[in-house]
Structure 1
Amino acid sequence: MNDHVRDLASVRDATERLLTAAAKLDNVSAAEPSRLPGWSRGHVLAHLARNADALVNVLAGRPMYASGEARDAEIERDAPRPLNVQLTDLRESAVRFQEAGVAPGDWSRTVELRNGVTDSASRVPFRRWVEVELHHVDLGIGYELEDLPEEFTQREIDFLADRFRGHPDVPAFVIEGDDGRLIPSGRREGEPITVTGRQADLLGWLAGRRDGSALTTDGGPLPALPPL
């Protein structure tokens, strides 16, 4: 069982780190490109605020977003806002998420996210933690994959490996990180390729943040991963 209470605390801490770092920007730098293609830093901040509200919807049993088009339109609408407005919105939406997280509820229930994806309610706080940590890196303001908490990195590698496990378009592979663990992923058929590297590089590859050039295999090319 996921420890949603502990994860909520981790979300709060990660959000404070992000807000403190983003407060050093100004309106000009907030409008500059992020590391995500086609998105400014303002887009990333706007997405984080709207994602917090969307996960409140999930916990309340409502649709995460009205539609994919509505989600995209809200991000485009909010991206150009002044930095102080962005940060206030992000902080207030984070408070709403925390309030939803401490409300009484059945954390073993199944909830629905985007595109028909379902998960346990108890994992929603971890999903929010992922959003905050990885998008902090995406801002390109000095917070790198190497700076992520060790527990987070290990859990997100496990989560993404599980996401690709059994995927018909991903060759079988085994992840071997510098923590010594072996994690199978990809197709269940065929002789798996072992992919070895530092935890940060493995996470970056699995999460689409690095090209995998720092990783090594025991034979054959690095498996191509579909977008998340």
Structure 2
Amino acid sequence: MIDHGHDLVSLHDATERLLSAAAELDDAAVARPSRLPGWTLGHVLAHLARNADALVNVLEGRPMYASGDARDADIERDAPRPLEVHLSDVRESAARLRAASAVPADWSRTVELRNGVTDSAARVPFRRWVEVELHHVDLGIGYELEDLPTEFLEREIAFLAERFAGRADVPGTRLTDGTRAWSTGREAEQPEITVTGPAPDLLGWLSGRRDGSTLTVEGGPLPALPPL
């Protein structure tokens, strides 16, 4: 069962970690390339702020973004701002999301995200937690997949494995870090492929942040995953 209250606390802690780390940067760093193709650190920080406001929209029953083009334009507009403006924006937008999450509501209701994707309102805090943790890694400022909380690693691997489950273009695959196991890909009585490695490497591969070259694969080549 999803515990949105627990996830809101974890999200707050992750946001504080990111803000503390980013505060050590300077204005010149904003223009440095991030680990996301075509995005600077400023783009990542701008996206984080606008995503928080977008999730306020979701919780309050409005479209997440006015449009995909408007989302992209807002990020481009905000990316070159000075570091302190970025930090204030991330902090203040996070506070707006926290305030929206504190309003009494039916957390079992279904909400709509981007591109027609729907989910339980209770999973919105976790989805935001994912944004903050993974984009902290994407900044490339010393926070790595190995630094992610163990609970987060396990839950995000499970979430992404579920996302690719049933896909005809992904062979039936068993994922394991040696102690835990997850299944993904097309349905099969027995998985066609077993992929083994540390949880950070499994998550890196599933999320498109690592190429999977450090993973051990049995039963065939490492599956090619569709883009998220």
- How big is each residue's C-alpha offset from its partner over 1:77-108, in whole Å with a ceiling of 9 and x where there is no partner? 00000000000000000000111111100000
- Where 1:222 maps in the other structure, the secondary structure is coil
Partner residue of 1:224?
224
Q: How do 1:126-137 residues align onto structure 2 when only pairs under 5 Å count? A: 126-137=126-137
Partner residue of 2:78?
78
> 1:168, CA displacement in angstroms?
1.6
Counterparts of 1:172 and 1:208, CA distance in 2? 19
Counterparts of 2:114 and 2:52, CA distance in 1? 14
Counterparts of 2:150 and 2:194, CA distance in 1? 22
- How big is each residue's C-alpha offset from its partner over 1:51-71, in whole Å with a ceiling of 9 and x where there is no partner? 000000000010000000000
- Where 1:80 maps in the other structure, the secondary structure is coil
How many residues align? The count is 227
Counterparts of 2:126 and 2:78, CA distance in 1? 25
Counterparts of 1:89 and 1:142, CA distance in 2? 22
- Which stretches in structure 1 are left out of the alignment for 5+ residues? none
Q: Does 1:182 align with 2:181?
A: yes
The one-letter code sitting in structure 1 at the alignment partner of 2:198 is R
- Where 2:202 maps in the other structure, the secondary structure is helix
Counterparts of 1:121 and 1:10, CA distance in 2? 16
> 1:191, CA displacement in angstroms?
4.3
The one-letter code sitting in structure 1 at the alignment partner of 2:38 is G
Calculate the aligned-residue CA RMSD, in Å: 0.9
**Normalised TM-score (structure 1):** 0.98
- Where 2:182 maps in the other structure, the secondary structure is strand
Q: How do 1:107-126 residues align onto structure 2 when only pairs under 5 Å count? A: 107-126=107-126
Residues 111 and 121 of structure 2 are in contact (CA less than 8 Å); yes or no, is this contact kept in structure 1?
Answer: yes
Counterparts of 2:191 and 2:56, CA distance in 1? 42
**Normalised TM-score (structure 2):** 0.98
The one-letter code sitting in structure 1 at the alignment partner of 2:139 is L
> 1:192, CA displacement in angstroms?
2.1
The one-letter code sitting in structure 1 at the alignment partner of 2:140 is G
Counterparts of 2:164 and 2:58, CA distance in 1? 23
Counterparts of 1:124 and 1:31, CA distance in 2? 30
Among the aligned pairs, what percent are the same residue? 72
